[in-house]
Structure 1
């Protein structure tokens, strides 16, 4: 009787060990990399020298991870002007700046009498990036 109990214990132990070992094959993955979309309110097609245009932007996350950080950078390749966040100093081309809000406004001020074009990139710390292209014709 004792040998039967010992055999049952050994068999039960083998079943437990194999089931625990099979759980290790698929470890629990925690997702922290969530893509995002960028929505931009319509902006004027024309701008005059010295005029400022407001650009309203909303980041739309597909998930929420507290340690996600967003950044913005821009480059102007036609015309001249400045781009800034609210009343902060103007952005420098190709420098990266942290974004602390999911809804924000940028202000572009024309310093040109010709057409102007620039690109804004919004990225996160996981390598996701969105590109926004802006073009304004001169109204002078």
Structure 2
């Protein structure tokens, strides 16, 4: 009886080891598409015609993949203005521009006294997209209207 118990124990341990060894996989999982977000400092809410607002941006990534590429584009649904990168690049609506830095500044210059809105899109080469919307109102123009 003792010999049967010992044999059964040895067979059970060997079976468990065989299962553990066969469950291991030598292939390496490489994760490429890490999620990210565009983080900004607070942006002023009022902007008069001709004034420029600075938008300080940081691309916050959850992981690092050396072949990841990021791009930026903008669209302006309301108002008229110009969005410029700190490198001097002036953005055209819906054109895609490479984003080489994770910390950068955008400068929006108002060209009207109406409410203005811009949508900034950051996307990576894996198809992930993050959108941020910025809006400004010309408070002086609205005060002039209410004073009349």
> Normalising by structure 2, what TM-score?
0.75
Offset at 1:33?
Answer: 1.2
Offset at 1:89?
Answer: 3.5
Q: Structure 2 CA distance, aligned partners of 1:27 and 1:89?
A: 43
Q: Structure 1 CA distance, aligned partners of 2:69 and 2:122?
A: 11
Deviation per CA, 1:42-98: give whole Å up to 9, x if none. 011110000000000101111101111110000001110000102523100000000
SS at match of 1:47: coil
Q: Structure 2 CA distance, aligned partners of 1:35 and 1:135?
A: 25
Deviation per CA, 1:2-44: give whole Å up to 9, x if none. xxxxxxxxxxxxxxxx99xx56978431111111122110011
Quote the residue 1:117 is aligned against. 117
Q: Structure 1 CA distance, aligned partners of 2:88 and 2:23?
A: 53
Quote the residue 2:130 is aligned against. 130
Quote the residue 1:76 is aligned against. 76
Going by fraction, where is strand more abundant, 1 or 2?
1
Q: Structure 1 CA distance, aligned partners of 2:65 and 2:89?
A: 29
Q: Structure 2 CA distance, aligned partners of 1:117 and 1:25?
A: 51
The root-mean-square deviation of aligned C-alpha atoms, in Å, is: 2.0
2:40 aligned with 1:46: no
Q: Structure 2 CA distance, aligned partners of 1:130 and 1:71?
A: 11
Quote the residue 1:32 is aligned against. 32
Quote the residue 1:93 is aligned against. 93
Offset at 1:114?
Answer: 0.6
Q: Structure 1 CA distance, aligned partners of 2:25 and 2:42?
A: 50
> Normalising by structure 1, what TM-score?
0.80
Give aligned pairs, total.
122
Q: Structure 2 CA distance, aligned partners of 1:50 and 1:68?
A: 37
